Amino acid sequence: MMTRPARTFFTILLLIFFLPMGLKAEGPLQERHVPEVMERFFRYHVEKKSLTPQIVKRCFAMYIAHFDPDKCYMLKEEVAAFISISDGKAKKIARRMQQGDFSDFHEVDVALQRAIIRSRELREDLGDWVSQGSPNAHIKPYTDYAAGKGELKMRTRAKLTRFFTQHQRHTPLQTKERRMRLVGLFEEKIQEKEQVYLHQDTEGDSLDAAAKENNFCVRILKAFAKSLDAHSSYFSEEEAKDMRLHLEKQFEGFGIVLGESIDGVFIAKVIPGSPAEKNGNIFAKDQVVEVDGDATRQMSFTHVLDRLKKRSDPRLVLGLKRRGAVFYVELEKAPIVMDQERISTKYSPFGSGIIGAITLRSFYDNGGDVTSEKDIKKALQALREKGDIKGLILDLRENGGGFLSQAVKVASLFISSGVVVISKYGQNEMHYLRSIDPRKSYEGPLLILTSKISASAAEIVAQALQDYGGALVAGDTRSFGKGAIQYQTITAPETDIFFKVTIGKYYTVSGRTTQMRGVIADIVIPTSFAPFLVGEEYLQHPLKPDWVHSAYEDHLSDVDPRVKGWLKQNYTPYVQKKLT
């Protein structure tokens, strides 16, 4: 019988062997670096291998969309000048891009800068409009860019209306003075985003040449990555840090989440188990008036965040204000494990035992003791202490995925042995991720809850256990539909360039993929997400679904011949049979 460490070795071996190494860059990005990064994407991507006219056009479209996602800046004719181009012109642009010449994107930036100046003129009378009462404009998503300046102005007012609606929930806006202050905050937040394209920092000062070029290259690479498929992405260093926190569920910090209102910066949340909670005198809604002795009154929200996040000093002194009184707290940075965002359990009595429920919010792994697999095993043990588990519910309704390796390990807790994931890469290479330990952590009735936002690793677990007949799936008609595999450098220790690229598609043991189609529920119980248009099919440039041969009978076709004999003796006899 194989032990758990041996099973972990086989799973990790497959993942590491077939995934490429990260990319190391020195200093800020330069335009001459961009073709090399693009080539890396093409080398790894499951389908796209060269800079075609289609990708060039998509790249322009994504570049503009990242700047103007609400379609409140650019006119239809201005956008068409860049995306409605002939294939011949797109080929010429592709050749220039491959040579490190991105002059065409500099032209786009000039158009965006003009749009910013125009938008600021259109926003000049927002204060007069708001002073007459609460904003009231038609709010709807726009499927196309505006035809004229009048339509742009209407859309900007609608954007302000959304901003008002969000702030009215926690900020009194009855007086004209407070409404005008909110207009000022609205303008400040918009200008922060505009400053990126005007080559300014968050304080409005001009960037140096190196920072300007780096930001320009990041914008190009973001647009390029999204032009390949819905899930390939390029990240700034700050974005990568936030994603790493989500994947690993552990970071070092003070444990406060900040918010912003017309009254200034405030404590939006205190993270359980953090230095801030242990201090005992910091609460949500406390206003932050000083950071290390400096008043926050003249600081932008981004500047205050940077003072907390980008600091080498582990000690922090905050001036807080509550009910008009100012007081000071001292905090020291410490490791924080985000337990509340990992797993939760509950149970109900049933007959001579209990029905247990485990909610798993993502598939995480910090490289140590914090993993989804270990947390579920602990949760099962805790439930057994409450009574005999007559049935189990695994709630994945708000689980958007995570590490593929953790999906395999979690599914392995509920089957004896067998293939969990079949992955298909470029050139139709097929590989199999297996559960090799025949022991089950739980054997009994299992119900998996899913929704339209259950995605990726959550869909692997739900469909794999559904395939084997080890679980029923209940929830929305189908789940999100993400069946693509990404390689990412976000958690790699030796990289200064952060990206994820789609390198293949996954299928469960039945040979079915969840790509586009999602996991089909056995029992339809609509969730709160049911009315919304959510899923892979609504994303830009999704991969098409297909299928492969099932692997209920594992022929070990991808296994090294040196271990195949051992597996036939110690693994094959224990492979999970398909149940009804």
pLDDT tens for 486-499 read: 888 887 777 778 99
What pLDDT, on the 0 to 100 scale, is given for residue 227?
97
Give CA–CA dist 35/247, Å, rounded.
29
Pairing verdict, β 315-322 and 287-291: antiparallel
Can you tell me the mean pLDDT for 54-69?
97
Q: Is pLDDT above 90 for 15?
A: no
Torsion of CA 435, 441, 445, 449, to 10 degrees: -70
100-129: b (≥16 Cβ within 10 Å) or e: eebebbeebbebbeebbeebeebbeebeeb
Which residues are CB-contacts of 563 (< 8 A; sequence separation ≥ 6)? none
Give CA–CA dist 68/467, Å, rounded.
43
Pairing verdict, β 334-337 and 250-253: antiparallel
Can you tell me the mean pLDDT for 41-46?
93
Note whether 220 and 34 are within 8 A (CB): yes
Amino acid type, 395: D
Note whether 466 and 472 are within 8 A (CB): yes
Give CA–CA dist 247/403, Å, rounded.
7
Mean of all residue pLDDT scores within the chain: 89
Q: Is pLDDT above 80 for 249?
A: no
Q: Is pLDDT above 60 for 21?
A: no
Question: Residue 235: pLDDT band by 50, 70, 90 thresholds?
Answer: very high
Note whether 508 and 551 are within 8 A (CB): no
DSSP labels, 266-297: EEEEE-TTSHHHHHS---TT-EEEEETTEEST
Q: Is pLDDT above 50 for 298?
A: yes
Which residues are CB-contacts of 165 (< 8 A; sequence separation ≥ 6)? none
- Nearest to residue 335, comparing CAs of 278, 277, 275? 275
293-330: b (≥16 Cβ within 10 Å) or e: eeebeebbbbbbbeebeeeeeeebebbbbeeeeeeebe
- The percentage of residues in the chain with a pLDDT greater than 70, rounded to a whole number, is 92
Q: For the beta carbon of residue 189, count every other beta carbon within 10 angstroms.
A: 15
Note whether 512 and 463 are within 8 A (CB): yes
Q: End-to-end alpha-carbon separation of the chain, Å?
A: 26
> pLDDT tens across 503-517, in order?
999 999 999 999 999
Q: Is pLDDT above 70 for 10?
A: no
DSSP labels, 201-230: -TTSPBPPHHHHHHHHHHHHHHHHHHHH-S
What pLDDT, on the 0 to 100 scale, is given for residue 489?
87
Can you tell me the mean pLDDT for 166-184?
82
What pLDDT, on the 0 to 100 scale, is given for residue 8?
32
Give CA–CA dist 146/72, Å, rounded.
7
Which residues are CB-contacts of 538 (< 8 A; sequence separation ≥ 6)? none
Q: Is pLDDT above 70 for 566?
A: yes
Q: Is pLDDT above 80 for 267?
A: yes
DSSP labels, 388-437: -EEEEEEE-TT---B-HHHHHHHHHTTSSSEEEEEEEEGGG-EEEEEE--
- The percentage of residues in the chain with a pLDDT greater than 90, rounded to a whole number, is 70
Q: Which two tokens stand for residue 215?
A: 């930001």
Note whether 90 and 57 are within 8 A (CB): yes
Give CA–CA dist 262/264, Å, rounded.
5
Q: Is pLDDT above 80 for 16?
A: no
* Residue 248 or residue 201, greater confidence: 201
Can you tell me the mean pLDDT for 380-394?
97
What pLDDT, on the 0 to 100 scale, is given for residue 491?
78
* Residue 96 or residue 143, greater confidence: 96
What pLDDT, on the 0 to 100 scale, is given for residue 133?
58
Note whether 412 and 418 are within 8 A (CB): no
Note whether 128 and 160 are within 8 A (CB): no
DSSP reduced 3-state for 310: coil
What pLDDT, on the 0 to 100 scale, is given for residue 215?
94
